[in-house]
Amino acid sequence: MLEYQGWFVIRESFNERDESEEKLESIWKILKVLVGNINYNRKTEICQMKITNGDYKLMIAGMDNHKSFSWVELLQLLDWIATESKGSYGLLHFYDDEDKNGLDNHFQVIVLKKGKISFELDTFLSPYNPEVEE
């Protein structure tokens, strides 16, 4: 099973001197197209974009029996965000009980900040058994 949920604030820069409303709007338009092209299962996955109080937000959640191509597309989308809008930041928590690297009992976190993506271990819900289930 692959379970994930996350949020991202989309910003063009992480410092004020490089901010550009025009660039942000252009990034947002391209991001809408990219999100629309993800072949996600609308019954089990959510991918929403919203502007609230001047913040451009992307919210993602899903649960599937196995990793699918939409997971690969989602990771590619995060790479694009990191490259094209370096001021963006956010977290995507995920649990993959079929993880081949020994993390099948742990939540992991994809951290996006300052144009970089890192994979971290979650310390709040891991190990999954016994923290979430027994």
pLDDT at residue number 21: 85
Q: Which of 32, 82, 40 is nearest to 58 (CA)?
A: 32
pLDDT at residue number 101: 92
pLDDT at residue number 41: 65
C-alpha distances in Å from residue 39, one per residue of 19, 98, 106, 107: 32, 22, 26, 24
d(CA 95, CA 44): 15
What is the chain's pLDDT, residue by residue, as a tens digit (134 residues)?
999 999 999 998 877 777 788 999 999 999 999 998 887 666 667 889 999 998 999 999 988 888 888 888 899 999 999 999 999 999 999 999 999 999 999 999 999 999 999 999 999 999 999 999 88
Q: Report the sign of the C-alpha dihedral through residues 27, 28, 33, 36, in that order.
A: positive
